[in-house]
Structure 1
Amino acid sequence: MTAPLLSHAIKSLTDKLTSFTLQPHSDPIIQLSVTVSAIPVIAWLAAQSTYPRIYWKGRDTEEEVAAIGCCKDFFFGDDVDDLEMSAEYQKQRALTNNQDVRYYGGVAFDRKNESWPEFGKARFILPRIELRRSGNEFKLLVNLNFTENSFEEEIAYALHAIASLDKPKPLAPPNKVALMGRSDKPDRYRWTELVNQVTHPKFIKETPKVVLSRQTQLEINEQVDPWTLLACWQGRNPNSFQFGFQFSPESAFISCTPERLYRRRQRELFTEALAGTTVRGINQEQDKALAQELLDDTKNSHENQLVRQQIVDVLNPLSHYVGAEEFPTVLKLSHIQHLHRSIRAELKAGVNDFQLIQALHPTPAVGGLPKEPAMNFIRQQEGYVRGWYAGACGYFNKHESEFAVAIRSARIEPGRINLFAGAGIVTGSEADKEWSELENKLTTILSILTEL
C-alpha cells in the first residue's frame, strides 16, 4: 500500500483530531499518527517557521526525527535542583504508557556552572508535531497534552499547529562562509600553562585525568543555516549521532558526535568508553598502521582504560550485571579514529534515566577522574562556559531512551560560530601534541565551512 502524500497525510491527521474524543481513564498525554510518503527529514525541518526546531538521528539505528513546536517544556535555568529535576521526570513518565511519546532535550556539561540562555542547565521538550523516519517508513505525529489545557483548547492548538506547517522545500544551497576572524579560549599560551599544571606530578597523582577543552570562535558576516550545515556534516560522518536544537531564530546548537552516553531498553543498558585519538591515514595501508599505533600507544590505552573502569564503577551499584570489553577496538571517523570499548549492563528494577544521567554524566571522556576535582579544575581554569558542549543530548520515554555526548558540536549565533574540541590530559600528555589533536578534531567542520 502506497503511503499518502504529505497534503493527504495532513488532512488525515486533521480529520483524526476533529473527530477525537477523550475516553474515560485515558492517558493525559496522547499521540496521533498517520503514515506519509518519503520526505527528506532535515529539509522538511529547515522549511518550518515554528520553534523550537529539533532534529535527532541515532548513530547505528535507521531512525531520523524532526520535531517542531511544543506542548510541554521543562526548562531548568540558573537554579537547578537535582531532586526537583528527578521529581519532574518521574511525574512526567507516569502520564503515558505510549512508548512512542518522547521528550527531546539535553543536560549541560556542568549543572553547577552558568549555562547558555535558552538552553539552561537542562531542557526537555515534548514537541507538538514530529516527522519520523524508521527505515523506509515515514510518519507524521501530533502530541496532545491535556494536563494544562482544556480538551477544546488543546485540540485547537494542535489544529493550528498542523495548519501552520510550511511546505517542504530543498535545503538552502551551501554557501562558502567568509571568516572575518578567529579567537581561541583558552589561547595556545594559556593551553600550555593548563596542560603543564595538570601533568605536574603532585597534581596528577591526585587527579590522573582532566579533559581540557577549547572554544574556537569564528566571526562571520553572513547568516549560516544550521540545518544545511548539519546536513553537510552528517554526509562526512554518517556513523555518528547527529542532532540539533534551535529554540529560537537567534541561536542553534548542532552536533555530529561519535560518542554514546547510553542507550536503554527497559532494564538493558548499552554504553561505551571512547577515549584515545589519532588521525586517519591518506591510504588504507597508512590508516591501518595508524590504528595499530593507537592500539599500542601506552598513553592512549591508559586513558581509555581509566574511562572504562570509571563507567563500570558507577554502574555497579545500579546494576545486577556489568560487562565491559577487555580490549579496545578502533572507531573510525572521517578525519580521526578513537579507541572504543563497549559496555553492557542489566539494570536493577526501578532505576530511571535521571539516575543514569547523574551517574554517567559527565563521563571521564569529557570531564576527568576523579570526577569532582577534575570538574572543579575545569570550572575554575578553562576560561569559558561549556554550556551544552560535552553535555548529554537525546530523548527519553517510559520504556527506552538514548543519549549522546555532544563532543563534536557547534553553537551558531548572529555573527559568529562557536566550535568546541577537547583532549584528555593524563601522564605523558604534551601541550603541543594535545593542541594539534584539538585542530584535528575541528578539521571536518572547518573544511565544511570554508568549502561551502
Structure 2
Amino acid sequence: MLPQAIEYLTDKLQQLNFQSHCDPIIQVSVNIKAVPVIAWLAAQPIYPRIYWKGRDTEEEVAAIGCCKDFFYDETTDDNQLAMEYQAQRALTKNQDIRYYGGVAFDRSTEAWPEFGRARFVLPRVELRRSGTEFKLVVNLNCDKQDTQSERRHAMESLGSLAPAKPLPPPNKVSLLGRSDRPDRHHWTELVNRVTDPKFIHETPKVVLSRLTQLEVNEEINPWMLLACWQGRNPSSFQFGFQFSPNRTFISCTPERLYRRRHRELFTEALAGTTTRGLNQEEDALLATQLQEDSKNSHENQLVSQHIVDVLSPLSRYVGAEESPKVFKLSHIQHLHRSIRAELKPEVDDFQLLLAMHPTPAVGGLPREAAMDFIRQQEGYARGWYAGACGYFNHYESEFAVAIRSALIEPGRINLFAGAGIVSGSEADAEWAELENKLTTILSILTEV
C-alpha cells in the first residue's frame, strides 16, 4: 500500500549517507501495488505536475514537485541552452534519472508564461509504471545543495502525498463563445499566398496552424480531459505539464520526434492526412486513396527527405522506408514512414533537437523561410504547441511533437491544429482538415 511505501522511503532518507554516493543526484525507490496513475497525479497538492506515457511502450509516469528546474525565457540563447543541457546530462550516469520538459515551437518568439522557450524539471517524486509493475521514486539533488536541506525537502514532499481519488466524470461544457486565429477569411488569404506559384517555387511547404479559443464558465479538470483523450487515442503519446494551478498544457499526439537509446535513433515522417471511414470498407478505401494521392504523398516525401538530410551529418547510417504506411487514429489517418539512424559517438540530444526541430511536418521547407512566414502571418504565439516534449538522461531520451494539444486556462480552452500547405492545397479542404483534427477533443468537451 502507498502509506507503507511512503514510510519505507522516509526511513531510507533518514538513514541516507550522502558521502557514500558518488553522483550528485541520488534516487531512492520502492515497488508498490497498482495505482491509477493520472488519478493519483490529479490528487496531489504539489506543483509542478507532469505526466508522460509513451506511444508504443508499456510505460507511464506521474511526476510532482521539483528537485531541479532549468527554465529559459527570451533572455536565453541556444548556446546557453546547450551548455546547461550538457551540464545536467553530465551530473549522473544513472539511467533511472530523468528530466522531463519541452522546447517551444519557435524559440525566437514570445513564450508562454511559466513554460518559457524551454523548461526541464528533475521531479521530486515520481510514480512510475512499467507494464504491470509500479514503483514510487524520490529524487535528491546534492549538486551544490545543502544535503540536509535536500533530505528535509524530500521527506516533506513524501509526507504531503495524497491518495488517488476518482477523476470527475466528463460533463458537457457550456460554450460561451469561440474564436479562431487566423479566422476563416484570413486563413483563405494565407493559403492562397502560400500556393501562389512564385512563393511555392521558393518555399514548397508551409505548415499553417490555427488557435481555436473556447470560452467557458466552468472549471475544466485537465487530467480528466487528458484521461478521456487517452481512451479515444490509446496509440498516441500522452503527456501533460502543469507548472501552476492556472495553466496546463496537455497533448495526445501521434508524432514522435525521435527516440534515442545510446547511439541508436528512431524517428519518422508523419505527414499527409485523411478522415476515417464509417465502416471497414470505406476506411480501407480512404486509406488507399491517401496512399495514392499525389499531394499527400509529395508532402510525406518532403518531410522524410528533410529528416534524412539533417540526420546525415550527425550519423554513421540513416535509412528510411521507401513507401509510407497508414497510421490510424480515432477520427483521422496519416501517412507514416519509419526512419532509423546510428548516431556518431559525439552527438547529443541538444544537437538532435537543433537539427530536427521544428520538423517540416509542423514548420515547412525550407525551414527558415517557412518559419519567417509563420512568425509574420499566423497571428498568435504557438508556445509549446508543435514543440518538442519528452524526457532525457545520459543514456536515452524520447521526444514527441505536440501537434494534438490544448492549453487549459481559467475560463478558456485553447485548442491547436495545423495543416501542411503545398502545391495543390485548397483553403476550404485544409480548413476542413483543421476541424477534423479537433473532432476528438471537441467530442469529449461537448458530448454528455
What is the TM-score with the length of structure 2 in the denominator?
Answer: 0.99
**Superposition pairs of residues 18-417 of structure 1, within 5 angstroms:** 18-24=14-20, 26-417=22-413
- Give the one of 428, 436, 442 matched to 1:440: 436
- Provide the identity percentage: 75
8 Å contact from structure 2 (residues 170, 444) kept in 1:
no
**What is the CA RMSD across the aligned residues, in angstroms?**
0.7
Structure 2 counterpart of 1:401, one-letter code:
S
8 Å contact from structure 1 (residues 315, 359) kept in 2:
yes
- 1:72-101 C-alpha deviation (Å, 9 max, x unpaired): 111001122111111111111111111000
Q: Which moved more, 1:18-27 or 1:371-380?
A: 18-27
Q: Give me the whole-angstrom Cα distance separating, in 2, the residues matched to 1:344 and 1:223.
A: 43
Q: Give me the whole-angstrom Cα distance separating, in 1, the residues matched to 2:88 and 2:337.
A: 33
Q: Give me the whole-angstrom Cα distance separating, in 1, the residues matched to 2:170 and 2:285.
A: 35
Structure 2 counterpart of 1:60, one-letter code:
D
Q: Which moved more, 1:169-178 or 1:205-214?
A: 169-178
SS of equivalent to 2:438 = helix
Give the aligned partner of residue 421 of structure 2. Answer: 425
Q: Give me the whole-angstrom Cα distance separating, in 2, the residues matched to 1:156 and 1:29.
A: 15
- 1:336-382 C-alpha deviation (Å, 9 max, x unpaired): 00000000000000100000000000000000000000000000000
**Superposition pairs of residues 7-18 of structure 1, within 5 angstroms:** 7-18=3-14
Q: Give me the whole-angstrom Cα distance separating, in 2, the residues matched to 1:151 and 1:395.
A: 25
SS of equivalent to 1:411 = strand
8 Å contact from structure 1 (residues 269, 346) kept in 2:
yes
SS of equivalent to 1:290 = helix
- Kindly tell me the number of residue pairs found equivalent between the two proteins: 448
8 Å contact from structure 2 (residues 247, 409) kept in 1:
yes
Structure 1 counterpart of 2:243, one-letter code:
F
State the Cα distance separating 1:25 from its structure 2 match.
5.9
8 Å contact from structure 1 (residues 407, 421) kept in 2:
yes
Q: Give me the whole-angstrom Cα distance separating, in 2, the residues matched to 1:51 and 1:391.
A: 22
Q: Which moved more, 1:191-200 or 1:168-177?
A: 168-177
Deviating runs (4+, > 2 A) in structure 1? Answer: none
Structure 1: which 5+ residue stretches go unaligned? none
Structure 1 counterpart of 2:248, one-letter code:
A
8 Å contact from structure 2 (residues 212, 414) kept in 1:
yes
Q: Give me the whole-angstrom Cα distance separating, in 2, the residues matched to 1:342 and 1:354.
A: 22
State the Cα distance separating 1:241 from its structure 2 match.
0.1
- 1:415-443 C-alpha deviation (Å, 9 max, x unpaired): 10000000000000000000000000000
State the Cα distance separating 1:227 from its structure 2 match.
0.2
Q: Give me the whole-angstrom Cα distance separating, in 2, the residues matched to 1:247 and 1:200.
A: 42
Q: Which moved more, 1:128-137 or 1:23-32?
A: 23-32
